[in-house]
Each structure stands twice: as C-alpha cells, then as structure tokens.
Amino acid sequence: MPNRCIKEGDNPDLTKERKTCTFDTDELTANLYGSRNNMERRREITKKISADPDFADPIPHDFLSREKCIEATAKKTKAVVQRGSEFCDVTNYYEMLHLINEAIGIGGYPLALHYGMFLPALEGQAEKELTDDIIPRAKNLEVIGAYAQTEMGHGTNLRELETTATYDKATQEFIINTPTRSAMKWWPGNLGKMSNYAVVTCQLFIDGRKIGPHNFLVQLRCEKTHEPLPGIIVGDIGPKMAFDTNDNGFLALDNIRVPRKNMLMKHAKVSPDGVYTPPMHAKLNYGTMVYVRAHMLYAHGQFLATAAIVATRYSAVRRQGRIEHGVPEVQILDYQTQQHRIFPQIARAYAIIFTYMDIKDQYDAMIKGIAEGQTDLLPDLHAITSGLKSVVTHMAGLGIEQCRMACGGHGYSDASGLPKLYGVQIGGCTYEGENMVMLQQTARYLMKAVASALQGKPLSHSVAYFGKKSSGKSRIGKEGGDIAREHEAMLEALEHAACRLSVEASQMWEKRGRGGETKERAWNGVTVEMNRAARVHTRVFMARSFHRRVTSSPPSIRPVLTDLLSLYLHYECVDMAHHLLEDGFCSGEQIRYLKSRLYEDLTTLRPNAVSLVDSFDQSDRELNSVLGRRDGNVYEALYQWARKSELNYTDVLPAVQKYVMPMMEENRSKL
C-alpha cells in the first residue's frame, strides 16, 4: 500500500518502514484534515513557503537572542500579512493557521492574540456601535490588539480583579484605573510591545456599586508613534519558559477615560444615564474563553502529533543494542518499552484531533443558538471544554515529554525541537484557566447531572450516559474476540467508572455538608475526588468521539484506525484500571486480559507506526526537528546544526582566553 513519503536518498530504515504500510497515507491525511482538497491546499502552502526567501532562516532561532528572534518573526509576520493571499485563502481559518505555522512557527508572533482573542472578543461581545468602527480597522491591521484580563494578583478568580471601570454619567465615559501594584495587567500576550489597543477586563462600578468583571476597549499607544499614551505604563514581563517570540506584557492605567461605547455591550449594557442591564446568560461575557478553550484542542493535538512524529521516525532510524545475540543492532522502535512509550501518543494525538472536530461542530451550533437568543447549549459546552482543555493539555504535555525521553540524549538537545515544543505546549495547562480550576467547572456540572439522573430528569449531551443502566459486571474479555463488542465493553466500563466516581464525589460532598460544613468548605474537602471524576468523564467523552470517528471512517482506512482505537482504549483502561477495579466492576483477570491485548496492539501497529505519523502530514518546517526530518538523514544534519552554534564561530572563545587559559597557566606555574 502506498506511503506517499517514500523518496530516493532517504534513510533506508525509514524507507523500509514506509514499505510495510498497509493503508493509503493520503486517505488518512485527507480524513484528518476534512477532505482531499484541504490536504492538497496544505501541501501547496508548505511548498510555496519553503521556497520563499522571505521565510528562510539562515540561522536557526535556537542560536539567536530573544530580541533577534522577535525581529525575525515580526519581519515574517509582515510578509504573511502583505503577501498572504499568494499562499492561501486568507479567509479560511485552517489555511491561515497552517500558513502561520509554516511561515512563522509556534513560539508566538505579533498578531497571535490579535487574531486569537482580541478580534474574537470584539466580534462575540461588542455592540454594533463599537464593532462598526474598530473591527474593520482591526481586520485591516491598522490597529493591533491584545486581551488583557489577568492581573499580577489575580488570574483565576475573575470576580476579584482589581482594575476598575467607573461610569461617569456627566461625560458618558468610563474611567479605567489600576488602583494597586497587584492590579497591573500581567501576562497578556502581545500586550508588551506589539499592541496599540487592548480589550481590558475591569470591575464595572456604577454609582459606587460594584457590578463585576466586564470588558472594555482601551487605546494604549499612539497610532502614529506607537509611544504609550499619557497615563499608560506598558512593557514586556521578561523571559519565560517558552513563547520567546511573544511579548507577554504588563499594563497600568492611570484614570484613563474611554467613551461609553467602548464597553463591550452585546450582552450586558450600560445606558447613557447609567442603568445596567445584565446579559441573558450571566457568563456570556466569558464567551471568548470558551472559544479559545475549544480551539486549543486542535493546537494541542497537533503539538502532540509533532512529538510523536519526531520520536517515531527517529526510533526507526536509530539503531542501538540487540534483542538477540548474533544479529545486527536493532532499530530502537523494536523495543517493546519504546513502542509502549510512543504508540499511545500517536493514538492520543489522533483522538484529540477527532475530539476537536466534534467540539467544533458543537461550538458552531451554540453560536448559532446564541444569535437566535438561545443559550441552552452553553452550560454543557462550557463544562466539557473546561474538562477537555485540562485533560488534553496535560495529556499532550506528558506525551511530549515521553517522546522527548524516548529520543535519549538527542531528545535533550534543542536540535530535536522537543524542549521548545514542550515549553510552548505546557503553558496550555495554565493559560485559559488553570487546569485544576477548570476541572472543577466540569465537576460542578457533573454534580448537577448526578442530581438530574437520580431524579430521572433529562440529561444533556456530554452526560447523557449517566442515564444508562449499568450491567453491574464488565463484559471485557467476554466478547469472544468480536472487536466491535470489545470496544463497546471498554467504553461501557469507562462510562461506569466516570458515573460511579461522580456519584461517590457527590455523596462525599453531601456527607461533609451534613457534618456541618458550608457547601463551599465541603467542596474544598472533596475537590481531589471531584477533579478525578471530571477527568475520567472527559476521557470517556474523548474515547466516544474517537470511536464515533473511527466507526464512520471510509473503509480503506478503517482497519488501521480500528487498530489505533484498540490501542487507545486498551491503554486508557489499563491506565485507569484502579477505577475499574475499585468497585469490582472489573476483575484482576480482566485487567490482565486488557494488558495482554495492549501488548498485542503494539505488535500489530508496529509495521504502520511510521506511516501513521507520516499521515499527520506535518512538514519539516513545521516539525523544526533534526531528529524528526522526513528523510531520516539525522546524523549529518545534527552535525551541521551544531556547527551553527555561536560558540563555534571561533575555535578559542574570548571567555576561555580571558579566564580559563590564565587559570590553567597559573596552575601550571604553581607546580
């Protein structure tokens, strides 16, 4: 079967792997990106960008200072903006995303938050009077914006943000102020140096009454000189774990006046005479966060895919040690431990991307509903995106780190691309709502679902399975080798565990309440259990999404995806075996059966491993990894990469000349 990656001159081990492929890699790629046309369009973009001198990096960013990286990124950003339509349909979200990944990379760029949050916030939350003015200019990139919500002292607990917006009826303006040091906005991406506007989250005050957090458009810098406006202090927060090319910023506002219309008033409103009208749903103002949490799934699925590609290809190329005496050294991909480390990451990357597809459909349906005045889909989507954001970012982070370690010493080098990838990706556990906090949002929703289920009330989409009757004992290992029924048995077992954990967490919560604790204090005493229930529920949702996609996939790729799904489900059940065992739903024998099936899956998938990662269709530019390159010619490339280190510009470094050589000389003369 064809793997389209085979080319002359490639590493022979990689070619050998590609020849054992049992499916058409293009079919799988097309399925992953929605259609053959989408796949072709991605490839055209890659080809054009790779050949374009505006996007060439004579010196890899690994060897540049942060300032130089930002300069190079800003230059490429300008080229993307001015010449974007030469490469793609700039109105197509996925084409633009791919163009940016190819042309600029993942470490941040001047417009990341402009497109990622500033524009979505304005489009989703601002009223016509404001949007008519600012959105055309923002889309035309006459202005650049950031989303400034988090403060030095508060990020999670939005209710206690300190920045104030006080309505002045006399002038029909809001006065925006940073009252304390801890009230400074701190962290917002692109706020420090790039943006001249921001959506700023402030506590709204009317007639001395605190109403709560609302968003306001504030101009930060002069449109001509880009200097901060009077009363505005703004800058970069300094080096951080990754996102080197993003100017995460600080901001202090000294009683800045903005007109009434600058409040984002699509949902909540303040009339000219200062009358406040709340939104039709209390949390519609938090809509931008739901949007980003949903879209983060795609980005994080792709991050994990990158790591899986690098680790799988490199493991096919790398030979080290022998499994049996008297035979040549083996490809490290032949070690069972290596497969057990890497293959679940391949399956998880597919599962995350497929889950994203489901969520995107739900998000679009919710937005359509809101436009027609219905908010009933919001609570379910908020609950499941909160859980998914937490589980996926954590899962992807652990997976990337596994892949990095699976590459041995070279995985520790920036040449592998994996340390930087991890640095960027792992930020997702914190931003857009810290994971422990987001899981509690899911758990709150589960507690309501438990109550509804007990009362026989209708259950919404993500928790519908709470209404199923459990069979009491698992069918795992008792389906006579019927794969479809085995998959169903595993899904049923996971659903049983998620439901049980939710019910038990609810009972623990209630018990503490009966013991005299307030609801809130009691909640804090059971949050570990609450978050555990939320995690398992979310993993059930992912498993169901993956299962749905696989069972409805075209017949040509269904067998390989079914193998991958088997691995995914076996791995998930073994990983969560304690939950399946705890109440006796599964027996120890059934868990041993699951493990043995998992080891069989590793062997089954081995001939398709390289082709499965090839099917993610990430280019060498996107991978940005010497170890993961498509042609597998790793060792020569590793040497050429190291040669570019600035330490190698001279044979004798000034630091050696100045300190180390005299020290050695002194020591010698002491003898």
Ligand X SMILES: CCCCCCCCCC/C=C\C/C=C/C(=O)SCCNC(=O)CCNC(=O)[C@H](O)C(C)(C)COP(=O)(O)OP(=O)(O)OC[C@H]1O[C@@H](n2cnc3c(N)ncnc32)[C@H](O)[C@@H]1OP(=O)(O)O
Ligand Y SMILES: Cc1cc2nc3c(=O)[nH]c(=O)nc-3n(C[C@H](O)[C@H](O)[C@H](O)COP(=O)(O)OP(=O)(O)OC[C@H]3O[C@@H](n4cnc5c(N)ncnc54)[C@H](O)[C@@H]3O)c2cc1C
Residue 120 CA from chain centroid, whole number? 17
Q: Which does 296 bind (CB under 5 to 8 A by kind): ligand Y, ligand X, none?
A: ligand X
Q: Which of 164, 161, 212, 210 is nearest to 188 (CA)?
A: 161
299 binds ligand X (CB under 6 A): yes
Can you tell me the distance from the alpha carbon of 399 to that of 331, in angstroms, rounded to the nearest whole number?
A: 21
Can you tell me the distance from the alpha carbon of 319 to that of 638, in angstroms, rounded to the nearest whole number?
A: 16
The backbone region for 434, taken as left when phi is positive above 0, alpha when psi lies in -120 to 50, beta otherwise, is beta
237 binds ligand Y (CB under 6 A): no
Q: Which of residues 240-269 bind ligand Y (CB under 6 A)?
A: 243, 248
Ordered strands of the 249-253 beta sheet:
185-186, 249-253, 232-236
* Site map (CB under 6 A) of ligand Y, residues 156-175, x = contact: x-------------------
Q: Which does 436 bind (CB under 5 to 8 A by kind): ligand X, ligand Y, none?
A: ligand Y
292 binds ligand Y (CB under 6 A): no
CA 70, 72, 73, 74 torsion: positive or negative? positive
- Judged by CB under 6 A, the number of residues near ligand X is 29
390 binds ligand Y (CB under 6 A): no
Of the pair 22, 182, the CB lying nearest ligand Y is at: 182
Q: Which does 283 bind (CB under 5 to 8 A by kind): ligand Y, ligand X, none?
A: ligand X
150 is in an annotated binding site: yes
Can you tell me the distance from the alpha carbon of 125 to that of 129, in angstroms, rounded to the nearest whole number?
A: 12
Q: Which of 419, 421, 422 is nearest to 410 (CA)?
A: 419
Q: Which does 290 bind (CB under 5 to 8 A by kind): ligand Y, ligand X, none?
A: ligand X
Which one is catalytic: 95, 162, 173, 432? Answer: 432
Residues paired with residue 176 on neighbouring β-strands, in sequence order: 165, 256
Q: Which does 286 bind (CB under 5 to 8 A by kind): ligand Y, ligand X, none?
A: ligand X
Can you tell me the distance from the alpha carbon of 69 to that of 310, in angstroms, rounded to the nearest whole number?
A: 24
- How many other C-beta atoms lie within 10 A of the C-beta of residue 411? 22
189 is in an annotated binding site: yes
Can you tell me the distance from the alpha carbon of 583 to that of 588, in angstroms, rounded to the nearest whole number?
A: 12
Q: Which of 538, 613, 547 is nearest to 343 (CA)?
A: 613
DSSP secondary structure of 651-662: SS-HHIIIIIHH
74 binds ligand Y (CB under 6 A): no
Q: Which of residues 23-82 bind ligand X (CB under 6 A)?
A: none
158 binds ligand X (CB under 6 A): yes
- 432 a catalytic residue: yes
Q: Which of residues 102-121 bind ligand Y (CB under 6 A)?
A: 113
Closest approach of Cβ 439 to ligand X, in Å?
11
* Site map (CB under 6 A) of ligand X, residues 86-125, x = contact: --------------------------x--xx---------
Distances (CA, A) of 172 to 168, 210, 217, 275, 533: 6, 18, 15, 12, 48
What amino acid is encoded at 461 in this protein? H
Identify the helix (H) or strand (E) that includes residue 149. Answer: none
Q: What are phi and psi of 60, to 5 degrees?
A: -55, 145
Q: Which does 465 bind (CB under 5 to 8 A by kind): ligand Y, ligand X, none?
A: none
Q: Which of residues 168-227 bind ligand X (CB under 6 A)?
A: 189
Closest approach of Cβ 431 to ligand X, in Å?
4
Q: Which residue is nearest to ligand Y (CB)?
A: 155
Question: Which residues make up the interface to ligand Y (CB under 6 A)?
Answer: 113, 147-150, 154-156, 187-189, 243, 248, 427, 430-431, 433-434, 436-437
Which residues are known to be catalytic? 432
Question: Which residues make up the interface to ligand X (CB under 6 A)?
Answer: 112, 115-116, 147, 149-150, 155-159, 189, 283, 286, 289-290, 292, 295-296, 299, 378-379, 382, 431-433, 437, 441, 444
